[in-house]
Structure 1
Amino acid sequence: MKLPPLKALPVFEAVARLNSFSLAADELAVSQSAVSHQIKQLETYLGELLFQRTGRYLSLTEEGRQYHEAISSSLLQIERASEQLLGQEAARLRLSVYSSFAVRWLVPRLPELSRQHPQLDLSLEMIGETPQLSDRVADCFITIRKTSAAYAYDLLYTERLFPVCSQEYWQKICREQQLEPTLDQLDPKLLAAYPLLSTHNIFDRPAGDWEAWYQAANLSLPSQQRVQHFSHILLALEAARFHQGIALTNDYMLNPQHDSEGFVRLPCHQLWTGDEFYFAWKLARRHEVGIQRLRRWLVSQAIDSGLRNE
């Protein structure tokens, strides 16, 4: 078996992850010159430059990026296997997750995860866009894109949007439109009389969410419609909470236990966005106990909360 200089591999992983020779030296409790020596030894063995150095800035070359992908995963597997034999069951996992999904759905459930799986040490890496699936970013992901064949995907939620407003604002609509608060169906055309709270990043265009919602009912967004624009669904939902209009939201943004008194879901049609939320994990790490425990727990929570059909 022909192996590279093994002492250099943890050094390379630390430099690549921290993007710094000095920070890697601090983490590994060695001198910066020792780190430089190990990286040089590894580059000599491989015959490839692993890092580009431009002034004070350091970055991985394409060869370095590919090598780090493989090496970091292998080192993690060695660490996990050693912990199991040593009887150390604690599993440290980094989960990359969309900020809205984390804040509104996942974080309130973390105490239950700790109760069921106290050996899981989970840290959240919150993101705003579809993440790059890589061990450098996180150990596992919640994503709406199947971007890598090296990963497995388990469905958590198929997104739908529906209109909501505050209880107080719903009472105002019913008074002005002479409606019963318990009516079964609301004519979408009546919404034209009220401000619509729009989230830009759902369809990446102004009022795109409401345009698509009206189109689902074979209608057009009224040309004189009052629309207030927000960059994120969290902001639009908070504006609705404070009686500023009607927002489009989805299932994971509303907690039945905590939001039933604050919001009313209007009795209108819903819009399927086409986005599907998956728990993603690397196939090469499919036997890791921590990842599989987290996967099963997330799926069970998605089923229990109604996000995913059993």
Structure 2
Amino acid sequence: MKLPPLRALPVFEAVARLNSFSLAAEELSVSQSAVSHQIKQLETYLGEKLFWRQGRTLTLTDEGRQYLDAVGSALLQIERASEQLLGREEARLRLSVFSSFAVRWLVPRLPELQRLHPQVELSLEMSTENPVLSDRVADCFITIHRNSPAYSYELLYVERLFPVCSQDYWQRMCRELGRAEGEDGALTPADVARFPLLSTHSIFERAAGDWQAWFQAAEQALPPDARLQHFSHMLLALEAARFHQGIALTNDYMLSSRKDSEDFVRLPCHPVVTGDRFYFAWKTSRRRERGIQILRRWLVDEARRSGLRNVGIDGGA
């Protein structure tokens, strides 16, 4: 077995992660010259330059990024395997998760994870866009894409949108529509269009895309005279609805707590499926790691218990 200079590998990982020779030296309790020597030795062995150095700026080369993906994963597996043999039950995991999913669904449930599995130490990495699946980013992910063959995926939720407003605003709507509050029967798209529509740009990546899709699901066009108020994120549109500013389109995990169900009224209207499917993703080569499997099972169980996984899902992934 022909191996590279093994002492240089954790040095390379530290420099790449911290983006600094001096910070890596401080973390590893060695001199900066020792770090430079190890990196030079590794580059000589590989015959490739791993870093570009321009003044104080340090960046990985393409070869360095490729090497880090493989080496970082291997070092993590060695660490996990060693901890298991040493009898240490702690599992430290970084989970990259969308900010809205984290704030509205995951964070309120973390005390239950800690109660059931105190050995799991979970660190959340917030993501506003779909994350790049890499050990450099996190150990596991909540993602809407299955575009990496190196990863395994467990389906948690098929997203749908439905109209909501505040309790006070619903009373106002009922008065203007001449409708008793307890009256059965669905609102028509024309009924909804009489009121301000709070739109989230990020769902379909275009202005009013969410409401256009909702009206299209009823085989109608968004009325040209509809009063639209635009927001970049669903969290903002939902807060505007909470403060009686109109009707917002939201999804199931955004209204997953008791407080939310008391603050909002889900209008008696049709939903629209966005096409986004939320997955828990982990690197297949790390599938035997106990911490990842504990987190996977807990997420699936919580998604089922809260009704999230039952929405639009027939069976498993």
| TM-score band, normalised by shorter chain | over 0.9
For 1:253 and 1:245, locate their aligned partners in 2 and report how far apart those are by CA, in whole Å: 17
Q: Return the letter of the residue paired with 2:212.
A: E
2:3 is aligned with 1:23: no
**1:195 to partner: Cα distance:** 0.6
**1:193 to partner: Cα distance:** 1.5
Deviation sequence 1:157-178 (CA, Å, 0-9, x none): 0000000000000000001111
Count of residue pairs brought into register by the alignment: 310
**1:184 to partner: Cα distance:** 3.0
Give the structure 2 partner of residue 286 of structure 1: 287
**1:256 to partner: Cα distance:** 4.2
For 1:191 and 1:68, locate their aligned partners in 2 and report how far apart those are by CA, in whole Å: 53
TM-score, normalization: structure 2? 0.96
**1:55 to partner: Cα distance:** 2.3
For 1:226 and 1:106, locate their aligned partners in 2 and report how far apart those are by CA, in whole Å: 33
CA RMSD, Structure 1 to Structure 2 (Å): 0.9
Runs of 4 or more above 3 Å deviation: none
Deviation sequence 1:124-180 (CA, Å, 0-9, x none): 000100100000000000000112000000000000000000000000000111112
Give the structure 2 partner of residue 113 of structure 1: 113
**1:188 to partner: Cα distance:** 1.4
Q: Return the letter of the residue paired with 1:118.
A: P
Give the structure 2 partner of residue 258 of structure 1: 259
Give the structure 1 partner of residue 203 of structure 2: 202
For 1:132 and 1:10, locate their aligned partners in 2 and report how far apart those are by CA, in whole Å: 23
For 1:180 and 1:273, locate their aligned partners in 2 and report how far apart those are by CA, in whole Å: 31
Q: How do 1:98-247 and structure 2 match up within 5 A? A: 98-182=98-182, 183-247=184-248
**1:103 to partner: Cα distance:** 0.2
Give the structure 2 partner of residue 268 of structure 1: 269
Give the structure 2 partner of residue 74 of structure 1: 74
Give the structure 2 partner of residue 57 of structure 1: 57
For 2:101 and 2:282, locate their aligned partners in 1 and report how far apart those are by CA, in whole Å: 18
For 1:147 and 1:14, locate their aligned partners in 2 and report how far apart those are by CA, in whole Å: 28
TM-score, normalization: structure 1? 0.98
Unmatched segments (≥5 aa) in structure 1: none
> What fraction of aligned residue pairs are identical, expressed as a percent?
74
Give the structure 2 partner of residue 96 of structure 1: 96
For 2:5 and 2:262, locate their aligned partners in 1 and report how far apart those are by CA, in whole Å: 62
**1:212 to partner: Cα distance:** 0.7
Partner SS, residue 160 of structure 1: strand
For 1:237 and 1:131, locate their aligned partners in 2 and report how far apart those are by CA, in whole Å: 24
Unmatched segments (≥5 aa) in structure 2: none
For 1:17 and 1:126, locate their aligned partners in 2 and report how far apart those are by CA, in whole Å: 18
Give the structure 1 partner of residue 14 of structure 2: 14
Partner SS, residue 259 of structure 1: helix
Deviation sequence 1:251-284 (CA, Å, 0-9, x none): 0000242212100000000000000000000011
